[in-house]
Amino acid sequence: MNDDRDGRPRRFPAQWRPGSSVPGASATSREPLRPQRLLHAAAQDAARQVIPTGLGLDSAPVRQRMVQRLRQEGLRSETVLAAFSAVPRHLFVDTALAAQAYEDTSLPIGHGQTISKPSVVARMLQWAVDGATAAAQGHLGRVLEIGSGCGYQSALLALLGTRVVSIERLRPLHELARRNLDLLALPEVRLVHGDGRVGHAPNAPYDTLIAAAGGDDIPASWLDQLAVGGRLIAPTAQPGGGQALVIIDRTAAGFVRRVGEGVSFVPLKSGIG
């Protein structure tokens, strides 16, 4: 639900170190992650039902071209690359926009919201994997996502984490995400219709928290629900204007904050609709 602030391509964070490989996958393998094999099969079936014939968007090579662009831009995590290889982005956009699904562009999903550029999502996931408490096991652990949108990032997170709770304040988008994710039968995702600013305390603490909307500050509830050793990535307004990704690590001694690259996200709002 975001876009680059100035529209120019950006490199991935310079301090990125490749994450450890997942069980059953070599360092260079693009074989499916847990549970990617089942996801891939379900996506193929769904694509044949949803996308008109002739577009060729149900073909894995189409996604691989997108993945190759991400690799060329500096993404080095094989786990994140494998997730992008598996999740069929065209299932998360309107069929009229399906031909643009694998371009590096944001696309409207209704209600003033968009599905984010693949490159922007990839940078956020890379930051997350880079600081993941469970990185040695190749996953993000327990994840809280603020802003389900159409469910695309939720699906990616499901392949990278052990459990995902995703909150969406707009009921039509909450229902859209549910329909889209139902096509892929991902048991690791729990969708919640609620106020993202308050987080979701019943399943806290979380090892990873990622927000798809930007506010003037980081809500205290998010910090409270972040596990010690966990990482939070969220767009936040900057003193000089605009937004930037803010990365916060929770340590035993407190919180460590850094500012990443500039971005432009939809506003973070309270309440539900």
Order of strands, sheet of 2-4, starting from the edge strand that comes earlier in the sequence: 2-4, 254-265, 243-251, 226-237, 206-211, 142-146, 163-168, 189-193
Please confirm, yes or no, whether 116 is among the known catalytic residues: yes
User: How high is the pLDDT of residue 63?
Assistant: 85
Work out the pLDDT band at 221, boundaries 50, 70, 90: very high
Residue 80 has pLDDT above 80, yes or no: yes
Arithmetic mean of pLDDT, 9-29: 36
Structure tokens at 29: 């393998």
Arithmetic mean of pLDDT, 98-105: 90
User: How high is the pLDDT of residue 164?
Assistant: 96
Work out the pLDDT band at 17, boundaries 50, 70, 90: very low
Work out the pLDDT band at 125, boundaries 50, 70, 90: very high
Structure tokens at 127: 């930051």
Assign domain 2-265 to its CATH architecture: 3-Layer(aba) Sandwich (3.40)
Work out the pLDDT band at 133, boundaries 50, 70, 90: low
User: How high is the pLDDT of residue 84?
Assistant: 94
Residue 31 has pLDDT above 80, yes or no: no
User: How high is the pLDDT of residue 175?
Assistant: 97
User: How high is the pLDDT of residue 14?
Assistant: 38
Least confident among 158-172, 238-252, 256-270: 256-270
Amino acid at residue number 45: D
Work out the pLDDT band at 87, boundaries 50, 70, 90: very high
pLDDT tens figures, 158-210: 999 999 999 999 999 999 999 999 988 887 799 999 999 999 999 999 999 99
Q: Which one is catalytic: 77, 116, 148, 166?
A: 116
Report how far residue 119's alpha carbon sits from residue 112's, in angstroms, rounded to the nearest whole number: 21
Do residues 142 and 206 touch, judged by C-beta distance below 8 A?
yes
Report how far residue 230's alpha carbon sits from residue 144's, in angstroms, rounded to the nearest whole number: 11
User: How high is the pLDDT of residue 188?
Assistant: 79
Report how far residue 184's alpha carbon sits from residue 175's, in angstroms, rounded to the nearest whole number: 15
Least confident among 6-10, 69-73, 253-257, 259-263: 6-10
Report how far residue 271's alpha carbon sits from residue 273's, in angstroms, rounded to the nearest whole number: 7
Report how far residue 236's alpha carbon sits from residue 242's, in angstroms, rounded to the nearest whole number: 8
Arithmetic mean of pLDDT, 130-151: 80
Per the prediction, the chain carries an average pLDDT of: 80
Q: Give the count of alpha carbons within 13 A of 65, CB side only.
A: 9
